[in-house]
């Protein structure tokens, strides 16, 4: 049984940043999110990989204690080619190959269906909706998305968003989704669909959280060298779902704490390529950065 389940992509990324490049790196929204969540809680993953997917990457997830019972194998693995220029806040998608994602059924294994904490990470919003229907009684459902889906499936995305408790989205994508330059308006548009929390990620400037009557701004760690921001958003969100599940508390004040842990993990992730840093660090390193955040925000 997994109390925390994450639906999303597992893929192979080719990434280029001003500081170097990697090819065929293990990536995908569900990968980053589940690795982050697994610092706090046993996490199940629902995704699809191709027959070409490296065995060692499967072993890597298993060794982290991620339950891969929901991972289908079919065709060719999802691939993403991304480029970051000097403004590291925005990834430019050079190529997206959906491959096996086109056949994905998003079937939730029986043993995952009673999970209380569900993260519908970045993937086709119709698959997010299909997956969500199969959970018996989730307590907290969080949804992420990106420009690729806003551009191609906006209507389906808005329908799925309405069923979530929290929506987490990049600033640029929040503006794009509601066709407004104003993030407060975007957040209020999310809340008016039904979710109780709208969390807007602002890359190296932190993240904002809006509820009907509260507003919180989580700082970003002042990183002098960002090596590769890939997975920052997914590891931030994965941390939030993992922390909320571990503490079993979905109050607004606990969501604030979860966001600070998310900022800690996302910033450590951005200091290395791909998943190299998240593989290396321990929960103690995360807690140290969390304490530093407490210190720098005092006034």
Binding site residues, ligand AMP, CB under 6 A: 9, 11, 13, 27-29, 32, 80, 91, 96, 122-123, 146, 148, 230-234
* Distance from C-alpha of 1 to C-alpha of 69, rounded to nearest angstrom: 10
- Nearer residue to ligand AMP within complex by CB, 44 or 262: 262
Q: Return the residue nearest ligand AMP (CB atom).
A: 27
In the bound state with ligand AMP, the residue whose beta carbon lies nearer, of 91 and 281, is: 91
Burial label for 92, CB within 10 Å (0-12, 13-18, 19+), is exposed
To the nearest whole angstrom, how small is the minimum distance from the Cβ of residue 151 to ligand AMP?
Answer: 10
**Which of 10, 114, 8 lies closest to 62 in space, CA to CA?**
10
Spatial separation of the C-alpha atoms in residues 58 and 185, rounded to whole Å: 41
Minimum separation from the CB atom of position 293 to ligand AMP (A): 20
Q: Which is nearer to ligand AMP, 28 or 242 (CB)?
A: 28
Cβ-based nearer residue to ligand AMP, 13 or 67: 13
Q: How far apart are CA 141 and CA 281, in angstroms?
A: 27
Min separation Cβ 29 and ligand AMP, Å: 4
Compute the least distance from the CB of residue 136 to ligand AMP, in Å: 26
- Closest contact distance (angstroms) between CB of 82 and ligand AMP is 7
Contact 42, 108 (CB under 8 A): no
The nearer residue to ligand AMP, 3 or 233, going by C-beta atoms, is 233
Cα–Cα dist 41/242, whole Å = 6
| Crossing angle (nearest 10°) for helices 125-133 and 154-161 | 30
């Amino acid at each position: 049984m997994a109390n925390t389940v994450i639906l999303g992509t597992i893929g192979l990324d080719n990434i280029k940043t001003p500081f170097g490049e990697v090819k065929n790196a293990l990536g995908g929204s569900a990968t980053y999110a589940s690795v982050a969540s697994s610092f706090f809680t046993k996490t199940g993953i629902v995704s699809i990989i191709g027959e070409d997917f490296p065995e060692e990457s499967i072993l890597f997830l298993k060794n982290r204690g991620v339950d891969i019972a929901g991972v289908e194998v079919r065709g060719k693995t999802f691939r993403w080619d991304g480029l970051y220029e000097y403004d590291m806040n925005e990834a430019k998608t050079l190529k997206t190959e959906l491959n096996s994602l086109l056949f994905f059924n998003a079937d939730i294994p029986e043993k995952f269906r009673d999970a209380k904490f569900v993260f519908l990470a970045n993937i086709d919003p119709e698959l997010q909706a299909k997956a969500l229907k199969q959970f018996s009684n989730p307590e907290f459902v969080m949804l992420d998305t990106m420009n690729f889906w806003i551009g191609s499936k906006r209507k389906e995305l808005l329908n799925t968003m309405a069923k979530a408790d929290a929506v987490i989205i990049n600033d640029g994508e929040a503006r794009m989704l509601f066709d407004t330059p104003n993030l407060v308006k975007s957040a209020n548009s999310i809340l008016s669909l039904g979710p109780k929390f709208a969390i807007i990620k602002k890359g190296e400037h932190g993240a904002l959280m809006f509820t009907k009557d509260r507003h919180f701004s989580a700082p970003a760690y002042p990183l002098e060298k960002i090596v590769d921001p890939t997975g920052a958003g997914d590891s931030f969100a994965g941390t939030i779902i993992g922390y909320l599940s571990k503490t079993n508390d979905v109050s607004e004040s606990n969501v604030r704490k979860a966001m600070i842990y998310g900022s800690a993990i996302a910033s450590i992730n951005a200091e290395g390529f791909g998943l190299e840093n998240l593989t290396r660090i321990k929960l103690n390193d995360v807690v140290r950065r969390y304490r530093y955040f407490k210190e720098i925000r005092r006034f």
